[in-house]
Structure 1
Amino acid sequence: MTTKPSVLRADARRNRERILETAVRAFSEQGPDVAIDTIAKASGVGSATLYRHFPTREALVEAAYRNELARVCDSATQLLAEHAPDRALRLWMDRFIDYLAAKQGMADALRAAIASGADPFAETLERLGTALGTLLRAGADSGLLRPDVDPFDVGFGLAGVALITSAPDQRERAGRILDLLLDGLRHGAGKSAST
């Protein structure tokens, strides 16, 4: 008899989510060597609960990173359901900058995980490209954004913005640059490809 993979109970899902959020913060603020017990305690769970979800430090680092990636990528659909496509894209840009800040904060922990054989970035470009593509297509289909934009070009532009405005006191500047980028994506919107 085969068994179906069990779905996490609601309390187990909440525990897992708290652990991942706490891990991102801990690895970002305290570095890759932060004690796993410290993360468990800050998450409000016991060490055994943490290890049940993530048997190794590397598994925790990889899962924390992938959770941040999923949050930003999965938010594209939600934002499109709640906002006009150009506004959804602009709000997503802010989330992308936050995701890159978390990734940068976790850089040492991610490098340690990679050195041990993990590959947390295996799906990153594909998932980000899909999310951005969804937002850009919706904007082009509505006539609010130009139709001739490669999602990866926009993604690399966003990464550049994040790189030069990574300090918390540069967040306002990042917002202004993102507004300029969005204005560029609106330029020529609604015109046919032949004009």
Structure 2
Amino acid sequence: MGTEPPKPRRRPRADSLRNRELLLDAARAVFSAGGPDASLEAVARKAGVGIGTVYRHFPTREALFQAVYKREVDEMETLARTLSNDPDPVLALRKWMHASIGMVATKRGMLAALSPVLDSSSEFFAGTTASLMRAISGLMESGIAAGRLRDDITPDELMRAFLGICYMREQPGWQETVVRVLDVFIDGLANVEPAPER
């Protein structure tokens, strides 16, 4: 007696996909705001769904965290590819770093709310960090090749400086402060005039 062929997997319904995107958007907003109200219940309320819908899409809090953060990293990689065509590599780097502040805000809020469930995420973070380093490395290499960025700072050093600025003691308006300090830092990286062609 022959075996029956496997049944094709059903594609997710449109409303299910829509709910998942609503939850990811809501989670980003809730966790970016941070504070004691950053909870899964708040995510459900923000998305306009019940808490059961959250758990159907994301069976654990860690699964929601990883989905939100992975989407943000993917967006930053896409942005880096788009900005690689910018004729001003210093402005391209500045735009990418400014956009990264929002990603850090989301991560900070999620780390505070979900820290008890993040013990098994080290491999996940290693992968997302590598993706971000590829993005920033490409932007810096373009700027150095054009003679618009100093070549004595590595992508790793820039990322360490950026995270150090972002993870200073949290206070109201911290993102605006980070933008100002970051702009000063990028101004220091930039060569005012393009290097002469050799």
Q: TM-score range by the shorter chain?
A: 0.7 to 0.9
Instruction: Name the structure 1 match of 2:154.
Output: 150
Instruction: Name the structure 2 match of 1:88.
Output: 92
Structure with max Cα Rg: 2
In the alignment, the residues of structure 2 paired with residue 45 and residue 187 of structure 1 have an alpha-carbon distance, to the nearest angstrom, of: 51
Shift of 1:2: 6.8
Q: Is the 8 A contact 1:19 1:39 kept in 2?
A: yes
Kindly provide the CA deviation profile for residues 103-143 of structure 1, in whole angstroms up to 9, marking residues without a partner as x.
Answer: 1122223422214x344423232112111101101212222
Shift of 1:156: 0.6
In the alignment, the residues of structure 2 paired with residue 2 and residue 137 of structure 1 have an alpha-carbon distance, to the nearest angstrom, of: 49
Moved more, 161-170 or 80-89: 161-170
Instruction: Name the structure 2 match of 1:76.
Output: 80
Instruction: Name the structure 2 match of 1:132.
Output: 136
Following superposition of structure 1 onto structure 2, how do residues 1-150 of structure 1 map, counting pairs within 5 Å?
A: 12-27=16-31, 28-30=34-36, 34-36=39-41, 38-47=42-51, 49-81=53-85, 84-115=88-119, 117-119=120-122, 120-150=124-154
Structure 1: unaligned runs, 5 residues or longer: none
Kindly provide the CA deviation profile for residues 16-41 of structure 1, in whole angstroms up to 9, marking residues without a partner as x.
Answer: 23211212333434456x344x4234
Shift of 1:97: 1.9
In the alignment, the residues of structure 1 paired with residue 49 and residue 151 of structure 2 have an alpha-carbon distance, to the nearest angstrom, of: 48
Query: Normalising by structure 1, what TM-score?
Result: 0.76
- Residue in structure 2 matching 1:187, options 176, 191, 197: 191
Identify if the C-alpha distance between structure 1 residues 83 and 15 changes in structure 2 by more than 3 Å, giving closer, same or farther: farther
Note the aligned Cα RMSD (angstroms): 3.2
User: What is the SS of the residue equivalent to 1:164?
Assistant: coil
In the alignment, the residues of structure 1 paired with residue 82 and residue 153 of structure 2 have an alpha-carbon distance, to the nearest angstrom, of: 22
Q: Is the 8 A contact 1:101 1:166 kept in 2?
A: no
In the alignment, the residues of structure 2 paired with residue 83 and residue 45 of structure 1 have an alpha-carbon distance, to the nearest angstrom, of: 44
In the alignment, the residues of structure 2 paired with residue 143 and residue 104 of structure 1 have an alpha-carbon distance, to the nearest angstrom, of: 35
Structure 2: unaligned runs, 5 residues or longer: none
In the alignment, the residues of structure 2 paired with residue 82 and residue 45 of structure 1 have an alpha-carbon distance, to the nearest angstrom, of: 41
- The amino acid of 1:94's aligned partner reads H
Query: Normalising by structure 2, what TM-score?
Result: 0.75
Percent sequence identity is 34
Q: How many residues align?
A: 190
Shift of 1:79: 2.8
Q: Is the 8 A contact 2:150 2:189 kept in 1?
A: yes
